[in-house]
Amino acid sequence: MASHTLTGLRSLRPDKDHPHYRWVALSNTTLGVFMATINSSIVIIALPAIFRGIKLNPLEPGNISYLLWILMGFLVVTAVLLVTLGRLGDIYGRVRIYNAGFVVFTAGSIALALDPFAGGRGALWLIVWRLVQGVGGAMLFANSTAILTDAFPADRRGFAMGINQVAALAGSFIGLIAGGLLAEVDWRLVFFVSVPFGVLGTLWSYRSLVEVGARTTAAIDWWGNLLFGVGLTAVLVAITYGIQPYGSDTMGWASPWVLTGLIGGGVLLAAFCYVETRVPQPMFAMPLFRIRAFWAGNLAGLLASVARGGMQFMLIIWLQGIWLPLHGYRFEDTPLWAGIYLVPLTIAFLVAGPVSGALSDRFGARTFATGGLLLVAASFLGFVMLPTDFSYWQFAGLLVLNGIGSGLFSAPNTTAIMNSVPARTRGVASGMRGTFQNSGFSLSIGVFFSLMIAGLASTLPSVLRSGLLAHHVPAAAATAIANAPPVGSLFAAFLGYNPVKTVLGPHVLAALPAPDRAVLSGREFFPHLIAGPFHHGLVIAFGMAIVMSVIAAAASLVRGGRYIHEEEAPPVAQQRAA
C-alpha cells in the first residue's frame, strides 16, 4: 500500500494547481522545517547530559567555548548559508536543493549519535557534525517556503504558511521538551531521534516533490557569497565570544578579537551590499527592498526573532536556576521540567498560528501581525512585573499571551513577504527571510546574555559574598568567588547545575561545618541568593525585548494593505495604499 502511494505521488504532474500535490508539498516541507527547528533547540535542554556523556565539565574556563559552539554552531551555519542556498534553488531548482538538505541533515544526525570520542575530542566531533547538520537545515529552510508559494494559489498561501510556520516555531519549543525527555534515557538519542524522520523525509521528498516554480538562469555570485559568508560569520562568532570574560572584564566586548570580528564583519557586510548593486546576477536581490511589504516584514521578523530567542533563554534560566529549585526540584531534574512548564507557550502558538494564517488570506497580514507583536510586548511587560518566585498560573497565562501573539504574527508576516516578490525570486526571498529570522535568534544569545550579565555584575558580587560569609566560607574564598565573572553562575543555572556547589569546589565545602555545607549545596540557597540580582537583569533584558517588539509592530503597521505581486507589473507600482 505504501509503495503504491509513493508511486502515485511520483506520477503527479508538475502543476501547482493539482488538487493533491499542494498537500504533498505542505506535509513534506512541514516535516522538513519541523525536524530542523527541533534540532536548533533540542540540545539546549540536553547539554548537561551530553557533557556528562562525553565526560567533559562545560563550566571549566577552557571548556565554555565547546559549550557555546555546540549550542551556536548549527544556528550560525544556518543563518550564513540561507540566502546562498535560496539563490541556488532559484537557479538549479528549489526541490533539488531541498531534497539534498534531507540527505545532508540525516547524515549529520547519524554521525552525531555515533560520536566515538570523549573529552575535548568528543566535543569537537559534535561541533563539526552540528555544522554539517546546519548545512542540511539551511537547505531545508531556504527552499521550503518557496516550494509552498509555488504550490499554493495566492488565496490559500496564508493557510499553508500558517501550518508551515507553526511547525517551524513550535519545533523550537517542542525541542526543549524532547531534549529533556530523551536525555533522561541516553544523550545519543537526542541526535538519533532525527534519523528515522530524516530517512522518511528523504525518500518521500525524492519520490513526491516536483519542480513547478520558475527557474532563473544565472551564474554564481562568488564575490557576493564570499563577502556575505565571511562577514556574517565574523559578526556572529564575535557576538558568541563577546559574552565570555576577557581579562578582568566580566565580558569580552573589549577584546581585540571580538572588536575585529564586529568591525571587520560589519565592513564586509557593507561591502557586500555595495557589490550586490553592481554585479549583473547578485545572490542577494537588493531590488526586493524597494517593495514595502518585503522590507517591513523582514524588519519586523528580525526584531521579533531576537526578542523571542532572548525570551526562551531567559525563561529557561529563570525556571532552572530559581523557580524549580525553590519548589523542590533537584538541579539535575530542572532541564526536563523547564521544558514541560513551557508547554502552554507551544499550545497557544499551535492554536493561533494556523487560524491567523487562514484569516490573513482574506484580510491581509497587517492587523494580525501588528496586533500579535503588541500582545508579545504586553507579555514581556507582564514577565517584568512578576515576582521572581511567582504563582505558576500567572506565569502560564503570560506564556499563553506570548504564544498567541507570536502565532498571530508569524504566519501572516511570512505570507505577506512571500506574496510580495516575483515568482522567479521566491527562492532567494525565502532565503533572505530565513536569514533575518535565524540571524535574529543567533543575535539574541549575545544581546540578552550580555544584558543579563551586565545586570548581574552590578548586584550579584556583593550579594554572593555576603551570603557565603554568613555560612562561614573563608573571606578570601568568598571574595574570589564573588569577584568571578557572573557568566559562570549564569551558565551553571542555564545547564541545571548547582552553581554554588560548582564554584566552591569539594575542598572548600569539606572544610565547612556540616550545617553550612548542607545549606550551601542544597536546593534553595542559590535561588534565594540570585533572585534579586536576576530580576534586576531581567528588567533590563525584557525592557529591551519590549522596545524591539514595539518597533517591530510599527514596522509591521507600515507594510501597507494586502499586496500580491503580479508578474506583468512593476512591484512598487502595484502596492496598494495603506
Average pLDDT rounded to a whole number, residues 230-243: 86
- Percent pLDDT > 90 in the chain is 29
Cell 565570544, located at residue: 241
Taking alpha carbons only, the member of 56, 523, 575 closest to residue 293 is: 575
pLDDT class of 578 with cuts at 50, 70, 90: very low
**560: left (phi > 0), else alpha (psi -120 to 50), else beta?**
left
Would you say residue 101 has pLDDT above 90? yes
Block residue for cell numbers 507600482: 573
Whether 358 has a pLDDT exceeding 70, the answer reads: yes
pLDDT surpasses 80 at 439? yes
The Cα 483–Cα 323 span in angstroms is 25
Residue with the bigger pLDDT between 152 and 567: it is: 152
Asked whether the predicted pLDDT for residue 549 surpasses 80, the reply is: yes
Mean pLDDT comparison of 16-30, 187-201, 270-284, highest-scoring range: 187-201
pLDDT digits (tens, 9 = 90+) for 51-84: 889 988 777 767 778 888 888 888 888 888 888 8
Q: Is the entire prediction scored with pTM above 0.85?
A: no
Most confident of 6-15, 218-227, 231-240: 231-240
Whether residue 571 has pLDDT greater than 60? no
Please tell me the distance from the alpha carbon of residue 456 to that of residue 442, in angstroms, as a whole number: 22
- Rounding to the nearest 10 degrees, give the CA dihedral for residues 10, 16, 17, 23: 60
pLDDT at 136: 94
- Work out the burial of residue 421: count CB atoms within 10 Å of its CB; fewer than 13 is exposed, 13-18 middle, 19 or more buried: buried
Highest mean pLDDT among 31-45, 395-409, 456-470: 395-409
Residue pair 164/157 in contact (Cβ under 8 Å)? The answer is no
Residue pLDDT, tens place only, 453-463: 888 888 888 88
pLDDT at residue 408 greater than cutoff 50: yes
Lowest mean pLDDT among 23-32, 52-61, 85-94, 564-573: 564-573
Q: Report pLDDT for 306.
A: 93
pLDDT at 411: 82
CB atoms within 10 A of CB 458: 14
- Nearest residue to 70 via CA among 94, 92, 93, 49: 49
Per the structure block, which three cell numbers stand in for 142? 531556504
Which cell numbers in the block locate residue 40? 536548533
Sequence letter at residue 132: V
Residue of 434, 439, 440, 442 lying closest to 83 (CA atoms):
434
Q: Highest-confidence range of 15-24, 26-35, 400-409, by mean pLDDT?
A: 400-409
pLDDT in tens, 255-308: 999 999 999 999 999 999 899 888 887 877 888 888 999 999 999 999 999 999
Is the distance from CB of 577 to CB of 561 less than 8 angstroms? yes
Residue 507, amino acid: H
Task: Give residue 3's pLDDT.
Answer: 46
> 249 pairs with which residues across the strands?
246
Q: How confident is the model at residue 215 (pLDDT cuts 50, 70, 90)?
A: low
- Say what the pLDDT of residue 14 is: 46
Give backbone dihedrals phi and psi of 455, rounded to 5 degrees, phi first: -65, -40
Which helix or strand (DSSP H or E) is residue 294 part of?
Answer: helix 292-318
pLDDT band at 566 (very low <50, low <70, confident <90, very high): low
Split at pLDDT 50, 70, 90, the class of 338 is confident
The pLDDT, as a whole number, for residue 573 is: 37
**C-alpha 312: how far from chain center:** 9
Q: What is the DSSP letter of 425?
A: G
Residue predicted with more confidence, 20 or 539: 539
User: Does 572 have pLDDT greater than 60?
Assistant: no
Bridge partners for 414 per DSSP: none
Taking 60 as the threshold, does the pLDDT of residue 511 lie above it?
Answer: yes
Look at residue 400 in the predicted model and tell me its pLDDT: 96
Average pLDDT value for the chain: 84
Burial (Cβ within 10 Å: 0-12, 13-18, ≥19) of residue 12? middle
Q: What are phi and psi of 412, to 5 degrees?
A: -60, -40
Q: How far apart are CA 549 and CA 383, in angstroms?
A: 14
Bigger pLDDT: 454 or 203? 203
Q: Do 399 and 350 contact (CB within 8 A), yes or no?
A: no
Confirm if 145 and 414 have CB atoms less than 8 A apart: yes
d(CA 376, CA 189): 34
pLDDT band at 9 (very low <50, low <70, confident <90, very high): very low
Asked whether the predicted pLDDT for residue 6 surpasses 50, the reply is no
φ, ψ dihedrals at 249, nearest 5°: -85, 145
Q: Is 360 or 406 the better-scoring residue by pLDDT? A: 406
Compute the distance between CA of residue 443 and CA of residue 203 in angstroms, rounded to an integer. Answer: 35
